[in-house]
Structure 1
Amino acid sequence: MTPAVDLPVLPVERALFVPAADALVVADVHLGRGADSSVDAPIDDGGDVRDRLESLLARTDPATVVVAGDLLHAFDGIPRGLERDLTALEECVADADASLVVTPGNHDTMLETVFDGPTPIEYRLADGETVVCHGHEPPQTDATRYVIGHDHPALSVDGRKRPCFLYGPTVYEGADVTVCPAFSPLAAGVTVNGMRTRAFQSPLITDVDAFQPGVWDDSSEELLWFPPLGECRRLL
């Protein structure tokens, strides 16, 4: 492990809180993935998402909740129970006196049929420096830092795969990039330990060796930072 990284964005479990913008960011919620799966027993991923989001809202008390893409899972249909789960998520945010913004991801082709809130392709937070987007396409908005999802990063530590954040200082046209893990409990994540830059899907990941992974530790309720992936490969 390495010393804590001094960031203006604060990782909290599988989400990021941006104090200067009073905003909570989650990525890759993939509502409907449980119903869209091939298992016989239904998986209540919507309930898990709602409960964890409710806990994060109580902890951070944000004015705005931003989904960094892939709020939905299915490309070409609305799975059974999705509208119920989405309504519960919206009510959870409203009950916390926060507004909900969704920046569409590549899975969100049906978003406009079920969600009537704001859906900008890229969203600049109230701090004026942070832009949130899904990360599957090059951003069109200049920023000091970008917060994205899309790649579902995870780090293998002692044989156990853990969802992780990736932080890259000045890696995309001079801007910082923070990649969030998937918020969905059903997204196992892509193990980044041995991955090279070309294996990532986001064009904002231009040099993965420069990205520092961080894993949330439930017992201490803090993020444990590891060396940049270029060094990490030799250690894990």
Structure 2
Amino acid sequence: MDGLQFHPRSVFLPRAEALVVADLHVGRAAASDVAFPLGERRDLLARLRDLVAEADPATVIFAGDVLHRFDAVTERARKTVGALVDVCDEAGCAAVFVRGNHDTALDAVRDDVRDAYVVAEEPQVVVCHGHEEPDTDAERYVIGHDHPAITIEGQRRPCVLVAADAYRGADVVMLPAFSRVAAGVEINDTRGGDLQSPLFDRLDDARPVVYDEAAEEPLTFPPLGELRRHL
């Protein structure tokens, strides 16, 4: 899709010089009592630094579900969010926070959380979390929320879903979870109504894009309606 560059678990919008990541779920490792080899904070920060160094954005947009817990913000989660902002500050780019359904306590950490963010006006691109229908009209929506992943040759891989004219005539780009603790939702046999986001009501026309980190390039697959016959 024109105007998009794909990076690991993220997209870059070159016209707006904006890098978008979604579903960090800060605090999920502790809440789930899982053992994560690198440590949640260290892993998130290291991968964000790499992305910022590669894409050189003017803005980093955190597209919702920055936090995992609904009810409160732990001190550790607060420090992790602060460290994410520090990564942006050190790189000379602005950090923008968009509210997700998990982010009921994010206002206690940041006083500038938005429900949606207009990235560019020609064409109008809006970043929102995707858990509810947006109030802002757009020609393209960049969202998260459902954590899409696809299983190919027995290996589950996070993927971006790209669909033209998917919501009220607008294109929709759904990002995988930036968190590696959050499980991906397998889309191999998923139909549009199976996803939670109201911006995707059909999936057969959506193209999965998998970033091959070994080859350092994105792999764009046929639309799911065609691809399912080969999976």
Q: Which residue identity lines up with residue 183 of structure 2 in the other structure?
A: A
Cα distance change on mapping 1:40 and 1:46 into 2, 3 Å: closer
Q: Is the deviation greater in 87-96 or in 127-136?
A: 127-136
Q: Secondary structure at the match of 1:34?
A: helix
Partner residue of 2:130 out of 121, 135, 138: 135
Q: Which residue identity lines up with residue 26 of structure 1 in the other structure?
A: V
Moved over 6 A (4+): 40-43
Instruction: Report the Cα offset of residue 26 of structure 1.
Output: 0.3
Q: State the alpha-carbon separation in 1 of the partners of residues 18 and 172 from structure 2.
A: 17
User: Is the aligned partner of 1:112 residue 2:107?
Assistant: yes
TM-score (norm 2): 0.95
Match of 2:88 in 1: 93
Matches for 1:206-217 after TM superposition, within 5 Å: 206-217=201-212
Match of 1:192 in 2: 187
Cα distance change on mapping 1:64 and 1:87 into 2, 3 Å: same
Partner residue of 1:149 out of 121, 125, 144: 144
TM-score (norm 1): 0.93
Q: Is the 1:32–1:80 Cα contact (8 Å) retained in structure 2?
A: no
Q: State the alpha-carbon separation in 2 of the partners of residues 127 and 24 from structure 1.
A: 16
- Give the aligned CA root-mean-square deviation in angstroms: 1.5
Q: Is the 2:120–2:126 Cα contact (8 Å) retained in structure 1?
A: no
Q: State the alpha-carbon separation in 2 of the partners of residues 202 and 154 from structure 1.
A: 15
Higher relative contact order structure (alpha carbons within 8 Å, sequence separation ≥ 6): 1
User: Is the aligned partner of 1:182 residue 2:174?
Assistant: no
Q: Is the 1:132–1:146 Cα contact (8 Å) retained in structure 2?
A: yes
Q: Which residue identity lines up with residue 124 of structure 1 in the other structure?
A: V
User: Is the aligned partner of 1:54 residue 2:77?
Assistant: no
Q: Is the 2:29–2:36 Cα contact (8 Å) retained in structure 1?
A: no
Cα distance change on mapping 1:217 and 1:39 into 2, 3 Å: closer
Match of 1:125 in 2: 119
Count of matched residue pairs: 230
Q: State the alpha-carbon separation in 1 of the partners of residues 222 and 119 from structure 2.
A: 28
Q: State the alpha-carbon separation in 1 of the partners of residues 157 and 171 from structure 2.
A: 23
Identity within the alignment, %: 47
